[in-house]
Amino acid sequence: MSYSDSDSSSGAGEYKYFKQITRERLLSEMLKSAKTGDSKSTWKVLIMDKLTVRIMSCACKMADITQEGVSLVEDIYRRRQPLPSMDAIYFIQPTKENVGMFLSDMAGRTPLYKKAYVFFSSPVSKELVAHIKKDSTVLPRISALREMNLEYFAIDSQGFLTDQERALEELFGDEENTRRGDACLHVMATRIATVFASLKEFPNVRYRAAKSLDTMTMTTFRDLIPTKLAAGVWNCLMKYKQTIKGFPERESCELLILDRSIDQIAPVIHEWTYDAMCHDLLNMEGNKYVYEATNKEGKPEKKEVLLEEHDPIWLELRHAHIADASERLHEKMTNFVTKNKAAQIHHGSRDGSELSTRELQKMVQALPQYSEQIDKISLHVDIAGKINRIIRELELRDIGQLEQDLVFGDAGTKDIIKFLTTKEDATRENKLRLLMILAAINPEKFEGEKGLNLMKLAKLQPDDMNAVSNMTLLGASPETKKSSAGSFSLKFDLHKKKKATRKDRSDEQEPWQLSRFYPIIEELIEKISKGELSKDDYPCMNDPSPTFHGSSKASSIHEPPVAHSMRSRRTPTWARPRQSDDGYSSDSVIRHASSDLKKMGKRIFVFIVGGATRSELRACHKLTTKLNREVVLGSSSFDDPPQFITKLKLLTAHELSLDDLQI
């Protein structure tokens, strides 16, 4: 029996990305390691709890697991059939309940399984190890007892979650519960630290500093969240340094810990990528999309599909502007017709006018050569068509333009009032999102009667007002709003600019103008990479060694705070042609693996407490290419605008359920 951390390394040879390493650890270090001695040719049972089964499903497919000799996957808490001739692999959290279930399975004269290989998702306490060793009948049946230190969901090639959907409520709620908040941060810190244990990376830990207005102002628990989390992660890393063989002694990457207060606009503004539009406008359950298709018999039937990285078309288009994605899908259909003789004959029978994407789709589906590849294209044509119809019906381009103008200081309250009076048929959600953006930029517009008047004009409900007023809970304490140096103005200073009217634009330019928005983390990541991130505003737990990549004189501890606006004016780059070198041309670096991979700089990790957005994940993919450094985004949850708004309402809704607050 061995009691150690699984050996893991990203290797000095070929560069491996975050999710690749996660997958390989689960398959090779855990499942393959059980193929030892006389058990090489036998099938095994894999037993997991509710958390670890999701960890596994995020990183691996069932086919991958089967290939490593697993014939059956079981839930540790379900009654299971005894299989005394088979070995079992346990991948479980190190809890008292899980250990009790394991001992119950393997103790006594008739254990459920022949041998047990036990892998814990995070560090196990000495008390639990002692408890396991006490049982003399179980001990000889344990072939391995290890800490995998892998307790996060790899939901994207460059993204992970700690699976804490209620973190925003537990940490930012109006009734501060320090005990509950500390427990939430403890779990969060433990799970973040397992990311670095898995990758064998030792980060330079940076965090957003607590901001107090003066020495007389008491710092709140909310304001200390990044500080407390950084300390928790640091403590875990110090333990890993002592317990994990080969864990780096010096800093090998960057970690920046932020919370949702850093950017309150990103979660509610309309993001115009194909990915974001799918999740914002379509009734998807996670990544599952349900649609109606015609079967071989010509009858309609409902189908389900997962929009994930294994779909090459999704991988190519997910970070493209919806207009660009639609154009590319039309090109794909046109190219197929051009190359297919039967399609050309069909096309030739028409009057020569250019076919629409929908007509091309129907034509291709009627062909005998209709393949799985075209099936995929056809699916995405349907999805893009549906999104474009919703955009037209809800007049989202006008709303999107106003949102962008508000953010960049080209519009103000008068424009919002004009919109609300002239667009009374706008949806309740879209009107609320506009007001939330205005509140993030100009919180004083919602003080007293002003806010109530705006809500009345928008014909919104009282719980909608809660979503707007609760935005203050993400900043400093409510009383600081009265100060000109309050929490919002510390982050957002565009309201000081003279407001301009909305810009005129032609229809062709509309989609590209709507791409001006970028999340704040994009600015922060670029500063980290250049070594220009202020250590007054973003202190570090450790002083990086002189050889650490990215350190420079500009990032010395005595650097004065860098004043920066909420958004600076930028040339719209988000929807440039895909041949451009701005970083958007590559959706995922994994797909574009080349000799340059070996030249990749050191990783940058950004963790956002309280939920991350699709625009922030997009920024990480973009900057990975631009900076030639893998940028990994982590968060407690991944929230689309409706989810985020519901969570905001819950910060003060003690009597209501999630169902009561759906917008």
- Where does residue 165 fall: left (phi above 0), alpha (psi -120 to 50 degrees), or beta otherwise? alpha
The token pair at 74 is 């079981």
pTM: 0.83
CB-based contacts of 13-16 (< 8 A; 24+ apart in sequence):
13/598, 14/597, 14/598, 15/597, 15/598, 15/600
Please compute Rg for the chain using Cα positions.
Answer: 27
CA distances from 416 to 300, 328, 413, 473, 641 (A): 44, 34, 5, 24, 19
Residue 581 φ/ψ region, left for φ over 0, alpha for ψ in the -120 to 50 degree band, beta for the rest = alpha
Contact 577, 621 (CB under 8 A): no
Q: What is the pLDDT of residues 533-579, one digit of tens each?
A: 999 999 999 865 444 444 433 333 333 333 344 444 343 333 344 33
Angle at 648 between CA 646 and CA 651, to 5 degrees: 115
User: Cα–Cα distances in Å, from 20 out to 7, 236, 632, 649?
Assistant: 16, 23, 13, 37
Contact between 196 and 203 (Cβ < 8 Å): yes
Supply the pLDDT for residue 566: 44
- DSSP letter at 109 equals S
Q: Find how far residue 481's CA is from the centre of its chain.
A: 30
Q: At which residue do the structure tokens 């049982």 appear? A: 135
User: Which pairing describes strands 153-156 and 159-161: parallel, antiparallel, or unpaired?
Assistant: antiparallel
Q: 574 with 271: CB under 8 angstroms?
A: no
Mean pLDDT by 10 residues, the chain (663 residues): 40 78 96 71 90 96 93 95 95 97 94 96 96 92 95 96 95 87 97 97 95 68 94 96 93 96 94 95 90 78 89 93 93 78 51 61 57 78 94 95 90 93 93 94 86 91 90 59 37 40 35 76 95 93 57 36 40 38 37 53 97 96 95 97 94 58 46
Cα separation, 522 vs 510, in Å, equals: 23
Q: How far apart are alpha carbons 61 and 58 in whole angstroms?
A: 8
Report the residue count for the chain: 663
Q: What is the end-to-end Cα distance of the chain in Å, rounded?
A: 54
**Cβ(378)–Cβ(365) below 8 Å:** yes
- Going by C-alpha positions, the residue among 17, 39, 18, 32 that lies closest to residue 65 is 32
Q: Mention every residue, 6+ apart, whose C-beta is less than 8 A from residue 380.
A: 313, 314, 317, 325, 329
Cα–Cα distance for residue pair 507/127, rounded to 1 Å: 67
Contact yes or no for 129/603 (Cβ under 8 A): no
**pLDDT one-digit tens code per residue, 469-501:** 999 888 743 333 333 333 343 344 444 443 332
Sign of the CA dihedral 318, 322, 324, 325?
positive
pLDDT of residue 294: 73
pLDDT at site 292: 81
Burial code (b: 16+ CB inside 10 Å, e: under 16) for 450-475 equals: ebeebbebbebeebbbbbbbbbbbbb
Where is 264: in which H helix or E strand? none
* pLDDT (0 to 100) of residue 35: 77
